[in-house]
Structure 1
Amino acid sequence: MENKVALITGAARGIGLATSQLLLSRDWRVAMIDRDGDALDAAIGTDKGAKAFYCDVSDPDDVSEMAVAVTEAFGRIDAVVNNAGVADFGPIGETDFARWRRVMKTNLDGVFLVSQATLPALKESRGALVNIASISGLRASTLRVAYGTSKAGVIQLTRQQAAELGEFGIRANCICPGPVRTKLAMAVHSQDIIDAYHDAIPLNRYGTETEIAECIAFLCSDQASYVTGQVLAADGGFEATGVGLPALRR
């Protein structure tokens, strides 16, 4: 049987890179997509199962060309992991329309565009969509009016995809990572924030990129063949606890 092919956006670093490496280790072939060409070139290494494709997922023309190139290069697409995203936080009163659109066009428009462009290939393979949202799409937080709203949109888009595409054998699911120790997170999380998350998360720690990748790999696999329309919070129990005051732990 021909090895399955995954298309992963935001693959140059973080969760996208970890997922690429995990699937490659399981004999998938991987189309690694990113708009940062230098970082993607450095990430892809020498694995012959991976190919780099430079693409801005917020640009419809870029996405259309990328989807054609991936299909021509690999002959099929079995799973699409919509992981590309930007984090741009700020108070509601200081979030102008430019910031709003900068977040939405990558985090939400990009998921829509890549999913739509790869739909013909996914119909052929009866494949899987895995969209990466965030715990911020499930619970509100300060400074995330654009980011949190974009991720809530990804969750609903996933459900729409599952409802409409199931008749073609396409599964659509969503992962909502909690705090993960990525370079992106560490760039915006002060020590006070890190300590506060530690207190609020039942497992008392950040997740790792590989732990999120394992969840993604499962949803891409045949082991999840009857799973669609689901939202999985991979967050150490953060979303389940609601108000979890440290003083009430014991």
Structure 2
Amino acid sequence: MDIKNKVAYITGGSKGIGLGVAKSLIDEGMKVAISGRTMKTVEEAAASIESDENILALQSDVTKLGDEQNAIANISKKWGKVDVVLANAGVGHFAPVDEMKPEQWHQMIDTNLTGAFNTLQASIEALKNSKGYYMTLASLAGTNFFATGAGYNATKFGVVGFTQAAMLDLRKYDVKVTTIMPGSVATHFNGNVPDDSDTWKIQPEDIGKIVVGLLKMHPRTLPSKIEVRPTRPDLK
């Protein structure tokens, strides 16, 4: 399927997976809006992409529905439509459940889970009009629980369930819905600074290629849930 000139919106697009996907889509000739909580950071990320006419920097806090509604309105005003939405924004705090702080719990729920809901709520009418594609960036932590992961697991299990139910709700409108569930990715997540020791991990551009592949797939076929993991974790 030809995806040139289609319009995408990526939350949490200032670095890591979000930025990697944005670059992959722009390489395919798409127009891409990226958002983050701090405009300066998003503008710097947009400036790193050599395509002034095909990248749009937006400030949006996904925990606020109004912010996401404004983001979709700005994209529609600039490019006239929204074809693809990737709910990618996320945070992680890891601690035994008896040590987790309530504010950490709420930040994860509000960003990872409610944020995905807000992004879909804000974009759903635009996606119905374009017969578009909504994707969430979940995690293998959405099916595999682990010690110190009570809060993070709860949000990612929730994102997987939310996305799969949304898929059933929206396919009657020809809106496709997929959740992507990566294992270890070389990003800045949880304070990591990617370096040569991260070469065994999935790279952000690898997720970008998965998104491109989904968009190019014949519309009769829907990979609704995709697990992806490093091939050789023993190389770390």
Distance in 1 (CA, whole Å) between partners of 2:5 and 2:151 is 39
Corresponding position: 1:77 with 2:82: yes
* Residues 1:132 and 1:227: Cα distance change in structure 2 (over 3 Å): farther
Given candidates 209, 212, 221, the residue that maps to 1:214 is 209
Counterparts of 1:117 and 1:229 in 2: how far apart (Å)?
24
In structure 2, what is the Cα distance between the partners aligned to 1:124 and 1:155?
A: 25
- The match for 1:236 is 230
Distance 1:164 1:237 in 2: 34
Letter in 2 for 1:205: W
User: Does 2:13 correspond to 1:11?
Assistant: yes
- How far 1:152 sits from its partner (Å)? 0.8
- Please give the alpha-carbon distance, in whole angstroms, between the structure 1 residues aligned to 2:218 and 2:35: 24
Unaligned runs of 5+ residues in structure 1 are: 199-203, 239-243
Q: Hey, what's the Cα distance between the residues in 2 that align with 1:135 and 1:14?
A: 17
Residues 1:42 and 2:47 are matched in the alignment: no
Report the residue type matching 1:223 in the other structure.
Answer: M
Asked whether the equivalents of residues 93 and 190 of structure 2 are also in contact (C-alpha less than 8 Å), the reply is: no
Q: Secondary structure at 1:210's aligned position in 2?
A: helix
Residues 171, 229 of structure 1: 8 Å contact kept: no
Contact 1:133 1:151 in 2 (8 A): yes
When the two structures are superposed, what TM-score results if normalisation uses the length of structure 1? Answer: 0.84
For each residue in 1:150-170, what CA deviation from the matched residue of structure 2 results, as whole angstroms up to 9, or x when unmatched? 011111111111101001000
* Aligned counterparts of 1:226 and 1:142: Cα–Cα separation in 2: 40
Change (3 A) 1:206 1:222: closer
Give distance in 1, aligned partners of 2:111 and 2:98.
Answer: 22
Say whether residues 1:63 and 2:57 are aligned partners.
Answer: no
CA apart distance, 1:227: 3.6
Offset of 1:226 from its aligned partner?
Answer: 2.9
Partner of 1:20: 22
8 Å contact from structure 1 (residues 86, 107) kept in 2? yes
The AA in structure 1 aligned to 2:206 is: E
Amino acid at match of 2:205: T
- What TM-score results when the alignment is normalised by the length of structure 2? 0.89
Q: Residue 5 of structure 2: SS of its match in structure 1?
A: coil
**Deviation digits for residues 187-242 of structure 1, max 9, x if unmatched?**
299xxxx8xxx9xxxxx9311111111112222x141523436211111369xxxx
Question: What letter corresponds to residue 175 of structure 1 in structure 2?
Answer: I
Aligned residues: 227
Instruction: Tell me, yes or no, if the aligned pair for 2:200 and 2:230 is still in contact at 8 Å.
Output: yes
Secondary structure at the aligned position of 1:121 is classed as helix
Taking a change above 3 Å as real, the CA distance of residues 102 and 78 of structure 1, as seen in their structure-2 partners, is same
Q: Which runs of 5+ in 2 are unaligned?
A: none
SS at structure 2 position matched to 1:31: strand
**d(CA) in 2 for partners of 1:60 and 1:113?**
5
Please state how far the C-alpha of 1:36 moved relative to its aligned partner.
2.3
